[in-house]
Amino acid sequence: MKIVVCVKAIPDPEIAASIFRVDEAAKRMVPLPGTRSVMSPFDEQALELALRIRDALGEGSITLLTLGAETTRSIVKHGLSLGADDALMLVDPVFDDGDSYTTARALAAAIQRMGGVDLILTGRQAADGDCGVVGCGIAELLGLPAVTFAMDIVVTDGMLVIERALGEGSEIIEAPMPAVVTVSHEVGKVRYASLRETMKAARKPVTAWSAEQLGLDASELGTRGARRVLERLYVPVNDVQCEYMVGETPEELAGNLVERLHAARLI
């Protein structure tokens, strides 16, 4: 079974919010010196799920697929250390400043060129942009079934049995292969990279393809191919107003709180 896991490098979500800046004029995030890129945690969940599928089947290959500059190499190395077999990086300046559509376009073209892929996993969304459409975009462009918010996948008799996270529970559905499945965060704890696997990862193959190798024209990619129009990029202002409840006794205090919550239509 051949599994492709699409992964994205994002700024470390654990950096202090106070140092996060955007350039509103250029409509971009200001790069933060000294901070590292990490694999989007939802993609990490997708990789964990792929590893569990391979563990359960006892066979199969897992390829990491990523689009981005050389800086994404660190997350590729991380994914290989966790147990992926190889990686394909899409590296070309024409990919820069694209949107979810151009990303899906490039990833779909790479998957098509790879051939023989049974299952494509993505995080349910990237943890930086939070758009959540690339996975379904790949499925649409490749004409494959798309299943979203997976928390578990079992492969049985050539079919995917997928547990999907719902707001108040889950549902189990079946899908034929090949398919695209986006993975939610309910997969749970991601395994740690062992030293043995990390040392093996140093020798695992990492291939880089350009737009030309994908047979894509620059007009379909990056800024030129983007279908999203970014009107404004800004850090929202959280204007929190704190109101202190008063009361002579705990009972009076609680009563005043209830009245205030009623007035605010919160209860």
Partner 1 sequence: MAKKEIKGDWILGWPDRKRPRSEFYKDTEGRVVGSRTPFLELEGLITPTDAVFVNAQVQMPEPVHPEEYRFEVFGEVENPMQCTLEDVRKLPGRTVRAVIECAGNDADFFNYLEAGGTGAKPSFELSEEDGIHWRLSGKKREQPIADADTLLKTIPSTCMLSGGEWTGVPFAELLKRARVKPGAVAIRLEGWDRGRPDPILLYRSAARTDFKVFDPGVINYDKGLPIEKAMHPDTILAWAHNGEYLQHVHGAPLRLIVPGWAGNWWVKWISKIEVMNRMPDCYHQTHYFVSGKSPEDPDKKMMTALGVKSVITEPRDEDSPLPRGEYAIRGLAWSGEGEITRVEMSVDAGASWRDAHIEYSPDRWLWKRWSFLWQAGKPGEYAIMARATDEKGRSQPQTEWNFLRKHFDGIVPVRLTVE
Q: Smallest distance, Å, CB 151 to partner 1?
A: 8
Q: Smallest distance, Å, CB 65 to partner 1?
A: 20
Measured on CA atoms in the order 142, 148, 149, 151, is the torsion positive or negative?
negative
Beta carbon nearer to partner 1, 16 or 267: 16
Beta carbon nearer to partner 1, 105 or 124: 124
d(CA 223, CA 140) in angstroms, rounded, equals 21
Q: Smallest distance, Å, CB 201 to partner 1?
A: 7
> Is the Cβ–Cβ distance between 44 and 69 less than 8 Å?
no
Tokens matching residue 172: 């189990």
Q: Smallest distance, Å, CB 71 to partner 1?
A: 14
> Is the Cβ–Cβ distance between 105 and 221 less than 8 Å?
yes
Beta carbon nearer to partner 1, 25 or 202: 202
DSSP reduced 3-state for 93: helix
Q: Smallest distance, Å, CB 54 to partner 1?
A: 18
Q: Smallest distance, Å, CB 19 to partner 1?
A: 9
Beta carbon nearer to partner 1, 142 or 150: 150
Half-sphere exposure of 12 (CA within 13 A, CB side): 11
Containing 134, the helix (H) or strand (E) segment is helix 134-142
Q: Smallest distance, Å, CB 227 to partner 1?
A: 31
Beta carbon nearer to partner 1, 198 or 213: 198
d(CA 106, CA 205) in angstroms, rounded, equals 20
d(CA 144, CA 141) in angstroms, rounded, equals 8
Instruction: Tell me the C-alpha to C-alpha distance, in Å, between residue 33 and each of 21, 39, 73, 204, 258.
Output: 12, 18, 17, 29, 47
Beta carbon nearer to partner 1, 42 or 209: 42
Beta carbon nearer to partner 1, 73 or 105: 73
Tokens matching residue 69: 């500059």
Tell me the β-bridge partners of 162. 153, 173
Q: What is the largest CA-CA distance in the chain?
A: 75
Question: Using CB under 8 A as the criterion, which residues of the chain lie in contact with partner 1 when the complex forms?
Answer: 13-18, 41, 44-45, 74, 77-78, 81, 184-190, 192-199, 201-202
> Is the Cβ–Cβ distance between 151 and 163 less than 8 Å?
yes
